[in-house]
Amino acid sequence: MTTAPEIGSSRKRSEDARLITGKTQWTDNIQLPGMCYVAFLRSPHAHARITNIDVSPAKGRTGVIAAFAGQDFADEQGALPCAWPVTEDMVHPDYLPLAINEVRFVGEPVAIVVARDRYAAADALEAIEVDYEPLPPVLDMEEALKEGADLVHGDKGTNKTYTWVFEQGDNEAAWRDAPVVIERRYIQQRLIPSAMEPRAVVVAPVGDEYTMWSATQVPHILRTVLSVITAIPEQKIRVIAPDVGGGFGSKIGVTAEEVVLMLAARRLGRPLKWTESRSEGNLTVHHGRDQIQDIAIAADRDGKLRGLRVKLLADMGAYLRLVGPGVPLLGAFMYNAIYKMDALSFTCSGVFTNKTPTDAYRGAGRPEATYAIERLMDELAVELNLDPIEVRRRNWIKHEEFPYTTIAGLTYDSGNYEAATEKALQAFEYDKLRAEQADRRERGDPVQLGIGISTYTEMCGIAPSRVLGQLNFGGGGWEHASVRMLATGKVEAVIGTSPHGQGHDTTMAQIIADKLGVPWEDVKVLHGDTATSHKGLDTYGSRSLAIGGVAVVNACDKVLEKAKRAAAHLMEASEQDIEFANGAFSVRGVAESSLPIQDVAFAVNLAHNLPDGMEPSLDSDATFDPENFSYPHGTHLCAVDVDTETGFVKIRKYVAVDDVGKVINPLIVDGQVHGGLAQGIAQALYEEGVYDADGNLTTTTLADYLVPSAPDLPTFHTDRTETPATTNPLGVKGVGEAGTIASTPAVVGAVVDALRPLGINDVRMPCTPERVWQAIKDARGGAS
């Protein structure tokens, strides 16, 4: 029997059954006997010394079990980790879970109340007495680096945590007598990830063992780090990521709340729960982006790039988070994008400010790089009076040149930029829209048409452990999977990645179904619980399929290897003569011989008749550590109507042609692209985390921080080219971040293109009506 391959089919997701019926297990849904609720008291100051703190008045409140300040955990709370010391001399101040002497951003926790319900806990916070002596807040990166600036960490003597330099090629030669030099400054505004599920943590102590449920992307990393911080042995900590409602990077940290709940649960011997409110989350979930990019290119008159120079300031916020310092480095290798050039110079300084710490947010470093280079390619096209597609074409790596080692030192294994671009241009009707644009410009239409282009690539599948080591990252990049054949021939797979919306249950089962020749419905995928998934490095950096999926393939291969040996024995044939196809073993040349893998599994489980020395199990463990990153790419085209009278921008058409390699599930891939586009467009047009002059975040709610709703977004036209990755047996590349990385420059590029006749070459993100209108007004010399 030959069945249609699962890989490539649009399987409807098995996850949906519980999600569409309200049977989901979010962390906040967990109720345990005797469980108490925790509320955090947080700093109202951006920067202040704590001169006195007294939690005792809260303890007398009705329903209050306990209250603790930082001092109460001084000997055991340690410091929150940063796993990425990007330079040897990186300034790395302690980041206490509960502040003791000084607070450095609004929202930093200083005390907790434990009470019998969430209302009582919240009420009692007001009884805690804290005396603050305000200190001057540091809010501007450039000011922060000036001599004599106020300091976020007074004892460190500087607001700069590191400067990381990366020089490739002969920069001097590239810039000497360059006929064309273009320099720009772009601002990557601060973003708030805004996963729909707020963070939540439950800790249950039993004896000297602890189970933590957390809305996290990284249960394995969390378990290891909690053990290091609390000195509770790792085997006595079980971390469960139950259903997790989105992450986008915001749930990769090891957070103050997780550590404090662990310590309080240990102290009290009771199960505890904390669930953040949205406004609490906006203050304390790490933020993303927030960079100042000074970027310059040197080129010849024919448009050929010679060199690229990038100087970044990256706002770390008040403390270094888990991978925060490394985020700009992930971009460092991407500024050259799909283009050939002779030299690259990249310098990044990480800066402390009295703001919420920053860390990875969907794309992490790569959206910033892609934005800057794509915007600059548009500027080059204008300078040379070339079509922006043409200037890209003159510089990109041609499909016959792969594998290609870029100026940044990465080897792109495969790609076809010509094909993706051609497909996108046709779907977009590029020439027709350009003609309409010319006509509307000619007519002086108050609503101008703009066309934006992004021919992006990115590096994902984080990451080869060896490369992470070279970059001084404190962890590996491999992934793990186990595949078990049950007695009845059904399959259980355990994966090390931990999904929060990506559909791993469905996708991984598709891979296994094809590899083992079993029905998709017969495969159950387990994850997110360190008691069942004992090994793994979790989910971020579009790694789950490109690395975790390959670990699954490797585990299946091991199962088949064992099953083949057992099958040969059962069929009384030599192992060399055994073939496997469509889920059954057969003896080569013997037409009627067929032994389904399920029968082999049953026989191995019985163990009555096994080859000598064979253990009664087909189960396997496997890992995969990639040799290289994977490099999705594509061409995105965006058309916007810009009302020059109101500044209002409306996306009229958006075409995304992505090449994510081999596609396992087209339905899920399209969904990932849609969501990625929405977040990239949100950066371009809607979202910004804003602080006032005193360091208060003014965008603490979804009324102020404008996550787009359905009418704010267009219907996307998505399509694909499929150039398989050559660096893994599935040929897959990863799709989680591509849409976000590609879309922001396409949208802003379109806005700027619409306004180009007015002499406008930049509008700062997000391109709100007010900002667009102001840019037009300024360009017209103040006459609105």
Q: How far is the CB of 278 from other proteins (least distance, A)?
A: 4
Q: How far is the CB of 675 from other proteins (least distance, A)?
A: 5
Q: Which residues contact 707 (CB under 8 A, 6 or more apart)?
A: 194, 682, 686, 687
**Residue 15 engages other proteins in binding (rule: CB under 8 A):** yes
Rounded to whole angstroms, the Cα distance separating 690 from 675 reads: 24
Q: How far is the CB of 290 from other proteins (least distance, A)?
A: 20
The one-letter amino acid code at 426 reads Q
**Residue 19 engages other proteins in binding (rule: CB under 8 A):** yes
Q: How far is the CB of 667 from other proteins (least distance, A)?
A: 5
In the block, which residue shows the tokens 């949100």?
A: 682
Q: How far is the CB of 164 from other proteins (least distance, A)?
A: 31
Question: Which residues face 313 on adjacent strands?
Answer: 292, 349
Candidate segments 349-357, 391-399, 696-704, 721-729, binder of other proteins by CB under 8 A: 696-704
Q: Which is nearer to other proteins, 28 or 342 (CB)?
A: 28
For the chain, the distance separating the N- and C-terminal CA atoms, rounded to the nearest angstrom, is 73
Rounded to whole angstroms, the Cα distance separating 677 from 316 reads: 26
Q: Which two tokens stand for residue 572?
A: 């009384």
Q: Which is nearer to other proteins, 39 or 603 (CB)?
A: 39
Q: How far is the CB of 528 from other proteins (least distance, A)?
A: 13
Q: Which two tokens stand for residue 343?
A: 């030299």
Among 2, 31, 52, 576, binds other proteins (CB under 8 A): 31
Candidate segments 312-320, 473-481, 518-526, 708-716, binder of other proteins by CB under 8 A: 708-716
Rounded to whole angstroms, the Cα distance separating 324 from 84 reads: 8
Q: What is the DSSP string of 503-530?
A: -HHHHHHHHHHHHHT--GGGEEEE-SBT
Q: Which is nearer to other proteins, 530 or 672 (CB)?
A: 672
CB 537 within 8 A of CB 476: yes
Question: Which residues face 184 on adjacent strands?
Answer: 295
Positions in 62-121 near other proteins (CB under 8 A): 117-119
Q: Strands, DSSP E only, in 353-465?
A: 404-405, 411-412, 447-457
**Residue 657 engages other proteins in binding (rule: CB under 8 A):** no
Could you count the other beta carbons within 10 Å of the beta carbon of residue 531? 9
CB 199 within 8 A of CB 311: no
Among 6, 108, 243, 379, binds other proteins (CB under 8 A): 243
The one-letter amino acid code at 466 reads R
Q: Which is nearer to other proteins, 198 or 583 (CB)?
A: 198
Q: Which is nearer to other proteins, 185 or 650 (CB)?
A: 650
Positions in 37-66 near other proteins (CB under 8 A): none
Q: How far is the CB of 720 from other proteins (least distance, A)?
A: 16
The phi and psi torsions of 179 (rounded to 5 degrees) equal: -65, -30
> How many residues sit in the footprint of other proteins (CB under 8 A)?
58
Among 701, 770, 777, 778, binds other proteins (CB under 8 A): 701
Among 592, 703, 759, 783, binds other proteins (CB under 8 A): 703
**Residue 248 engages other proteins in binding (rule: CB under 8 A):** yes
Q: Which two tokens stand for residue 255?
A: 């957070």
Q: How far is the CB of 564 from other proteins (least distance, A)?
A: 37
What x/- string results for residues 177 through 216 when contact with other proteins is judged by CB under 8 A? -----------------xxxxx------------------
Per the document, the length of the chain is: 784
Q: Which is nearer to other proteins, 385 or 709 (CB)?
A: 709
**Residue 668 engages other proteins in binding (rule: CB under 8 A):** yes
C-alpha angle 703-709-710 in degrees, rounded to nearest 5? 160
Compute the chain's Rg from CA coordinates. 28
CB 688 within 8 A of CB 190: yes
Rounded to whole angstroms, the Cα distance separating 385 from 380 reads: 8
Positions in 262-291 near other proteins (CB under 8 A): 275, 277-279
Rounded to whole angstroms, the Cα distance separating 71 from 80 reads: 16
Q: Which is nearer to other proteins, 19 or 690 (CB)?
A: 19
Q: Which is nearer to other proteins, 20 or 435 (CB)?
A: 20
Helix (H) or strand (E) holding 378: helix 366-384
Q: Which is nearer to other proteins, 718 or 768 (CB)?
A: 718
Q: How far is the CB of 408 from other proteins (least distance, A)?
A: 30
Positions in 482-541 near other proteins (CB under 8 A): 500-503
Could you count the other beta carbons within 10 Å of the beta carbon of residue 347? 16
The site for other proteins (CB under 8 A) is made up of 12-13, 15-24, 26, 28-29, 31, 117-119, 194-198, 243-246, 248, 275, 277-279, 500-503, 667-668, 670-672, 674-679, 701-703, 707, 709-711, 713, 715-716
